[in-house]
Chain A
Amino acid sequence: SQTIHQWPATLVQPVGSPLSLECTVEGTSNPNLYWYRQAAGRGLQLLFYSVGIGQISSEVPQNLSASRPQDRQFILSSKKLLLSDSGFYLCAWIKGRGWNEQFFGPGTRLTVL
């Protein structure tokens, strides 16, 4: 069966510090991978998606970036965090864009102080 992991589960970082959040998927190959952000009490905002190694599409211009160094690994990064980067970050995957279910990881709660 497939599983998706995210770490860390929670993170408190000062403004201006770097960020690296990691997501890995097990039990499948060539998944489409997604990063979403959920601000407090708000809906989901799609940040990045990837259809393959090294292929990243950005949905919202900001100080975040994403990378996919391996087939089942998706990393969200920032060189300098802003207060507005606080939120709940969710990684998700689907088998391919024609597949009809998106699976979510447990999320990372980021607080920028």
Chain B
Amino acid sequence: GNSVTQMEGPVTLSEEAFLTINCTYTATGYPSLFWYVQYPGEGLQLLLKATKADDKGSNKGFEATYRKETTSFHLEKGSVQVSDSAVYFCALHNYGQNFVFGPGTRLSVLP
């Protein structure tokens, strides 16, 4: 079946540091890939997505590239801010199936 694996957190960084959160997936077919963000006490919000191989999703300074050869969709940001502190979920979706979410990675950014 489909599955998503994320690096275990928590990840703690200083402000303006470079961020990478690894995500790899197992899926049949050609899934779309997503990063969702959850701020404390809130629901999940879509951060970015990519629908086919080599697509790059980007939003709010975050980027992720759909790498089919390595089945990965790593999230990156060049300079994190305190306001980026949240839980980040990698997810995949195949047509006609339910979304599959990774376990989430908690990011804490210190001033």
Determine how close the nearest CB of chain B comes to the CB of A6; give it in whole angstroms.
8
Name the CB-closest residue of A to B105.
Answer: A43
Interface segment, one of B16-24, B44-52, B66-74, B77-85: B44-52
Which residues does chain A contribute within 8 Å of B36, judged by CB atoms?
104
The contact size tier of chain B is 20 to 34
- Interface assignment of B93: CB less than 8 Å from any CB of chain A: yes
Query: How many interface residues does A have (CB within 8 Å)?
Result: 21
- A100 touching B43 by the CB < 8 A rule? no
For window 8-29 of chain A, which residues contact chain B by CB distance below 8 Å?
none
- B44 touching A104 by the CB < 8 A rule? yes
A22 vs B97: C-alpha distance when bound (angstroms) = 24
- A102 touching B42 by the CB < 8 A rule? no
Which residues does chain B contribute within 8 Å of A98, judged by CB atoms?
95-96
- B93 touching A43 by the CB < 8 A rule? no
- B43 touching A106 by the CB < 8 A rule? yes
Determine how close the nearest CB of chain B comes to the CB of A86; give it in whole angstroms.
15
- B97 touching A97 by the CB < 8 A rule? yes
Which residues does chain B contribute within 8 Å of A100, judged by CB atoms?
32, 49, 51, 93
Residues of A at the B interface (CB closer than 8 Å) are 34, 41-44, 46, 49, 90, 92, 94, 97-98, 100-107, 109
Other A-B pairs, 5, CB within 8 Å; known A90-B44, A100-B32: A41-B106, A97-B97, A100-B49, A104-B44, A107-B42
A-B contact pairs, 12 of them (CB 8 A): A43-B101, A90-B43, A92-B43, A97-B96, A97-B98, A100-B32, A100-B93, A101-B46, A101-B49, A102-B91, A104-B45, A107-B42
